[in-house]
Amino acid sequence: MSWLEHGFAVFAQEDAMAQWVDAAMQPALAAIRDPVKRDAWLRHGGTWFAGVDLLDNDEAGRVGDGPPVAGRALAAAQAVCGPLALHRAQLSVTYPGYPARDVGDSDAAHRYRLTRDAAHLDGLLPEGPDKRRHLREPHGYILGVALTGAGAGAAPLVVYEGSHHVMRAAFSACFSGHATADWGDLDVTLAYQAARRLCFAQCARVEIVLEAGQSVLVHRMALHGIAPWAAGAQAGPDGRIMAYLRPVLPDIADWLSLP
- Which tens digits make up the pLDDT trace of 37-59? 999 999 999 999 999 999 999 99
pLDDT for residue 171: 98
Residue-range domain boundaries for the chain: 3-257
Q: How many CB atoms lie within 10 A of CB 2?
A: 9
Terminal-to-terminal C-alpha distance of the chain? 16
Can you list the residues of the chain whose pLDDT is less than 70?
1
pLDDT for residue 1: 58
* Range 3-257 classified under CATH 2.40.128: no
**CA 115 – CA 227 distance, rounded (Å):** 9
Give the 3-state secondary structure of residue 183: helix
Q: What does the mean pLDDT of the chain come to? A: 97
pLDDT for residue 103: 86
Q: What pTM value is reported for the model?
A: 0.97
**DSSP states of 70-99:** -SHHHHHHHHHH-SPPP-PPEEEEE-TT-S
pLDDT for residue 206: 98
